[in-house]
Amino acid sequence: MAVGSAPRVGIVFVSHSEKIAIGLVELARQMAPTARLIAAGGTDSAGIGTSFEKISDAITEADTGNGVVVLCDLGSAILTAETARDFLEASEQHRVRIVDAPLVEGGVAAAVAAEIGGDLDAVVAAAQSAFQPTSKTMLPTRHDETGDDAFGVDASLPAAISRTVILINKDGLHARPAAEFVNLASTFSVPITVNGTDASSLLSIMSLGLARGSSVQLASTDLSAWPAINALADLLQSGFGED
């Protein structure tokens, strides 16, 4: 699914602190600038706690018909979110998924999955990937030309083709360029790895800690992946517009 081709899955950040929820939206927005990200933090009086009304309104605002993923910081926030979902019409409840995942890492991964056009299952899987080892990701994060889920790369398979480039941007593959890289990688239906990890997994890419001057090997088990590898290599060598 191409970015911008259809309404995206919405993401709701639920926290006991209004400032934390707003901050998480601000953080995720750096990597998912057009995704529908809504904060639902604090009580109705701006105190510490959760609000049924805030969460209900956030779910409604986030849902454009493709569903909503809700991430929460503490157990009582989950209970409030579940209550808000239970008060929805039965036809709407199935579109709201309350995901048990780390609020920061899972939220950022979910936001990027929504940004690149992932469906509800893909966005949930992206959030849950924060629990998984980052050396190998086997989660549905994009779709191939037939509409079927394209899964992450098994890094244990030998590469058929590869190209190595050097990072030139001063801060390396930090959050914003990593998200830009993953967005591009997710448009291709061929399997690609970056230094042995799935090129379409934001958390896996960021876990590599690639700094300026790092050697980056782009590889694939598919001989038809050259155009994808070259496009990704060109992006890395562009410096992402950074000085």
The β-bridge relationship of strands 142-143 and 149-150 is antiparallel
**The one catalytic residue among 16, 94, 143, 174:** 16
Neighbours of 100 (CB within 10 A): 11
**Residue 169 bridge partners (DSSP):** none
Q: Does the active-site annotation cover 16?
A: yes
SS3 236: helix
**What stretches of 33-185 show up as alpha helix (H) in DSSP?**
52-62, 75-86, 90-93, 103-115, 120-128, 175-185
- Taking every pair of Cα atoms in the chain, the longest distance, rounded to a whole number of angstroms, is 59
Of the candidates 79, 49, 64, the one whose C-alpha atom is nearest the C-alpha of residue 8 is 64
Dihedral angle at the C-alpha atoms of 210, 215, 220, 221, nearest 10 degrees?
-110
Q: Which region holds residue 54: left if phi is over 0, alpha if psi is between -120 and 50, else beta?
A: alpha
Strand order across the 197-198 sheet: 161-166, 215-220, 193-194, 197-198
- DSSP-derived 3-state class of residue 153: coil
**Active site amino acids:** 16
